[in-house]
Amino acid sequence: MTTSHGISSSIKTPTSTTTTTSRTTSSKTSDSSNVEGDKKGTLSEWAEDDAIKKPIRKLGPKMNPVYKTVRAFVWATYFVLGATLISMTQVMAIPLSILAPGVYRRHMKRTTVYFGALMLKMNELFAPSDIILTGDESIREIVKVYQGKRIHHHQHQKSTSDCNGNENKDDGNEKYHPDETLLDLPDRLIFVANHQIYSDWIYLWCFAHLAKKDRGIKIILRGDLTWIPVFGWGMRFFDFIFLKRNDWAHDKKAIESNLERLRKDDPLWLLVYPEGTVVSRGTRKRSSAFAQKAGLKDHRHVLLPRTSGMFVCLNKLRGSVEYVYDAAVGYSGVHYGEIPQELYPLPGLYVDKAQPREINIHLRRFAVKDIPESEPEFVEWLRARWQEKDDLMEKFYTTGKFPSQLTAEDIGINSKEDQKGQSIRIPLKTNAGYSLPTLIVLALPVLALVIRYVLQHTS
């Protein structure tokens, strides 16, 4: 299926029949490539036995060293230059924080959108891949493929955004191109996910950008990342939350003070990774040791969640955020028992053409009012959700896909049998060009440097 903006999508049926357009290359899905024999048990057991004997698989094609060097240079130049230009517009806007605070805040929100566009185009150029979106019955209303006319939802009738990031106001009179895919997500939510690889946040930011919600994105990060030149400064301008991770009193205060600065009508997509780090052989063993010591059930594919930070975030946002969206994220090409980060490291995703072809996201939605307010009950609630997430990952690694409650009707397929188990493919690409104001803003720093250089060499 192809949207009116050139965003291609395809639907997976329970029988794995896939329909694609001529503009979308028929990818060789790895639904079966995730399965390797009948390995069971935890990742820590696998790491102690088979992993020591087996070398880590290297993904991606063999490349000429010269070509690889040129590719790495082009990718690094693209990303560093783009991020630097965005960061420079942030620095130039600092006086506005005093002279016109409202204008300053709006510009900072625009820079998160610019950065999302930068990463989306980077993935399209250097590591093309698709999001495969599935979910349970709680998200049936957020994904729609419109059949030439506006279909009203039972809830959230304010606006929707198509997969190209264009907002569509719900005035009851709008018409849409047949088979146009739209995502109907709230402006304020808490987005919780398992942490598989270091570039998880890139893919989820791209997902937010496609839904036109990344102007409110906020991520909880390690404090030492602020010292990275350019990128650390940019993340501070984005007003992300930075934690020391070894000083809970400091971290709790940092979370609370950051969220208190938000107005209740400000857009907010708070991205939280309760595991605190990616799955690796070391973190898997430490998680297993803690589970054994605390008398908890060990997980097979995820780490035990850290509950304190998530509890503070949730209670601070009660009354202003209606839902928590929980995502189980799995990457194609990973065999049962393998560690995703070992297969998909940075910058290999972009330099070695070793990216996952499919980013599988299984969404569930939970109403904040139904989540326990007392900490002991919340801890049990979150651990139960994480056990469910581990079960979802087990199904993903044994079948090559997440189970889905989406029906043919949900995603716009005309079918006599309203079969469940549907998924929707959203390519990580955009055909939307930059607007003239955007180009002017991004070009200002370059223009300033050119003028300065000319003046210095002509005086």
Residue 147 and residue 178: Cα distance in Å, rounded?
5
The pLDDT of residue 37 is above 70: no
The pLDDT of residue 163 is above 70: no
2 φ/ψ sector (left φ>0, alpha ψ -120 to 50, else beta): beta
Give mean pLDDT, residues 392-398: 96
Q: Which of 343, 347, 348 is nearest to 333 (CA)?
A: 343
Residue 427 and residue 123: Cα distance in Å, rounded?
10
Residues 323-372 pLDDT 10s: 999 999 999 999 999 999 999 998 889 999 999 999 999 999 999 999 99
The pLDDT of residue 424 is above 80: yes
Q: Beginning with the edge strand found earlier in the chain, give each strand of the sheet holding 178-183 in spatial order.
A: 143-147, 178-183, 159-162, 167-169
Amino acid at position 64, single letter: N
Q: Quick one: angle between helices 101-126 and 436-458, nearest 10?
A: 100
The pLDDT of residue 178 is above 70: no
pLDDT on residue 417: 58
Residue 352 and residue 338: Cα distance in Å, rounded?
19
pLDDT on residue 445: 54
212 φ/ψ sector (left φ>0, alpha ψ -120 to 50, else beta): left
- Average pLDDT of the chain is 78
pLDDT on residue 43: 52
pLDDT on residue 444: 55
Contacts of 308 (CB under 8 A, 6+ apart): 248, 252
The pLDDT of residue 164 is above 70: no
Query: Token pair of 241, please?
Result: 């939350």
pLDDT on residue 448: 61
Omega into 347 within 30° of 0, i.e. cis? yes
Residues 278-303 pLDDT 10s: 999 999 999 999 999 999 999 999 99
Q: Beginning with the edge strand found earlier in the chain, give each strand of the sheet holding 241-243 in spatial order.
A: 18-19, 11-12, 423-427, 130-135, 358-367, 323-331, 188-193, 268-272, 217-222, 241-243
The pLDDT of residue 274 is above 70: yes
Question: Rounded to an integer, what is the distance from CA 40 to the centroid of its chain?
Answer: 28
pLDDT on residue 342: 93
Residue ranges covered by each domain of the chain: 11-21+28-444
Contacts of 22 (CB under 8 A, 6+ apart): none
357 φ/ψ sector (left φ>0, alpha ψ -120 to 50, else beta): alpha
Q: Quick one: angle between helices 436-458 and 65-92, nearest 10?
A: 90
Minimum mean pLDDT range among 13-22, 39-48, 332-341: 13-22
pLDDT on residue 14: 38
The pLDDT of residue 190 is above 50: yes
Backbone angles phi, psi at 331, to 5 degrees: -110, 135
pLDDT on residue 371: 97
The pLDDT of residue 435 is above 70: no
